[in-house]
Structures are given as structure tokens and as C-alpha cells.
A and B are shown apart, each in its own frame.
Chain A
Amino acid sequence: AQSVTQPDIHITVSEGASLELRCNYSYGATPYLFWYVQSPGQGLQLLLKYFSGDTLVQGIKGFEAEFKRSQSSFNLRKPSVHWSDAAEYFCAVVHDYKLSFGAGTTVTVRA
């Protein structure tokens, strides 16, 4: 069965520090992968997506993600975190044209 795992439930990072959020998926074929962000009281906003091609994907708000087939991973990174990046982040993978989401990682940014 298709599944998405986000191993970290909660991450705290200092403003200006780098951030990496992990995502692992289980799927046999080439996956279609997404990262979404959800700020408090808001819906999900698309950060970036990977369908094919270059395995390093650039997104909005200074985020990037790297697809590594050998590790079944699609980790999200940001070199320097801003206080406004405090939110919940969801990795998602498409199977049979349906999005399967991970349980999310909550990011807290301290001053």
C-alpha cells in the first residue's frame, strides 16, 4: 500500500538557522511528490512539486526539496528560516491520481 512517512512530528529551529524536513514514501514506480505548508487557521499552500527531471526542485518562499530514489526520500530544506515559516508542513505522494499525505511536521521558530 502507498504510504508517506514524516518521521519528525515537531521541530524547533532558531531564526536564521537552516531547516530540513524529512519525507519517505513507499511506492514502486516513479512517484509524484508534493510539499504543502499550513499556517495556523489556514488551508494548505503548495510549496513545490516533483514529477520528473531534475531531482532538486525549487519552490516558493525559498524552499527546495531533493528527490532521492535510492532512499525513497523527498526532503524539504531551507537555508535560513524566518519567523513566518512557523507552520505545519505536509509531504504528499500521488498514487492512482489520489494524494496521500504524511501526518505532518510542526515547525516552531524561536527568536
Chain B
Amino acid sequence: ETGVTQTPRHLVMGMTNKKSLKCEQHLGHNAMYWYKQSAKKPLELMFVYNFKEQTENNSVPSRFSPECPNSSHLFLHLHTLQPEDSALYLCASSQERVRKRGWPDTQYFGPGTRLTVL
């Protein structure tokens, strides 16, 4: 596989379930991101990892727990979610968080996981 892959593509879960979303990038990048895309709202950045270290948590509720075991894999662990958490969750990666010359790096996105919380 090439690019950024996400599994599962669709997930339906109850509010008491625990599930995980997986993202894998095959681009040799060192930075990975989780975004939330809700209907009719701009994409919201959730978490950023750079060289496996979390560098951004955009005030995300603790029921979302990210994990980055290496630069190629990123997980989003979900527990006791609410119906308003239903959305498309997108993963992205970039070479680094910030290029050495100070320019931001281009992010490449996966196809997303469509999450429905009942």
C-alpha cells in the first residue's frame, strides 16, 4: 500500500464500547495528525505527533486517547463516546511538523474512518 491508510473505514459503536482507529503511513514521514470532520463544520485538529512525541492536544476530551508507537502508525482509542462524536476521523502525515527553514510541511491525508456512535 502507498500513502496513508486508515482502518476501519466505517465503525458503529455504542456509547459504552471501546474501539480503536488505526492509521498507517507509507511515506516515510515523521509527523502524524488526527482530525475530526463533522458535517458542515471545518476540519478540527485533534492531536499532533512529531517523531512519536505528542506536540499538540487541541483540548480534546479524554474519551479520545491517541497512541503513536512509531512514526508509521497512529491510533485513536475511543471509550464512552457520545452521539455528538459521530464524524469522519481523518489521519494525516507530513515529513516533519516544521521544516528546518521554518516553512510548514505539506500534510497528506488518509481516506478517513466514518464513526457513528449510537
Interface residues of A (CB under 8 A from B): 4, 32, 34, 36, 41-46, 49, 51, 90, 94, 97-104
- State how many residues of chain B have any CB contact under 8 Å with chain A: 22
Q: Please give the distance in Å from A93's CB to the nearest CB on chain B.
A: 10
Say whether B68 faces chain A, with CB atoms less than 8 Å apart. no
Q: Are A97 and B104 within 8 A (Cβ)?
A: yes
Total CB contacts across the A-B interface at under 8 A: 46
CB-CB under 8 A from B110, the residues of chain A are 43
Q: Are B4 and A43 within 8 A (Cβ)?
A: yes
Which residue of chain A has the shortest Cβ distance to B111 in the bound complex? A43
CB-CB under 8 A from A45, the residues of chain B are 109
Which residue of chain A has the shortest Cβ distance to B104 in the bound complex? A94
Cα A43 to Cα B9 with chains together (Å) = 11
- The stretch of B41-49, B69-77, B78-86 in contact with A is B41-49
- Chain B, 10-55, CB within 8 A of any chain A CB: 40-43, 45, 48
Partner of A49, one of B42, B48, B106: B106
Cα A34 to Cα B92 with chains together (Å) = 15
Partner of A103, one of B40, B90, B109, B112: B40
Q: Please give the distance in Å from A34's CB to the nearest CB on chain B.
A: 8
Q: Are A103 and B41 within 8 A (Cβ)?
A: yes
Q: Are B111 and A98 within 8 A (Cβ)?
A: no
Known A-B contacts A97-B98, A102-B42, A103-B40; the reply to A42 vs B111 at CB < 8 A is: yes
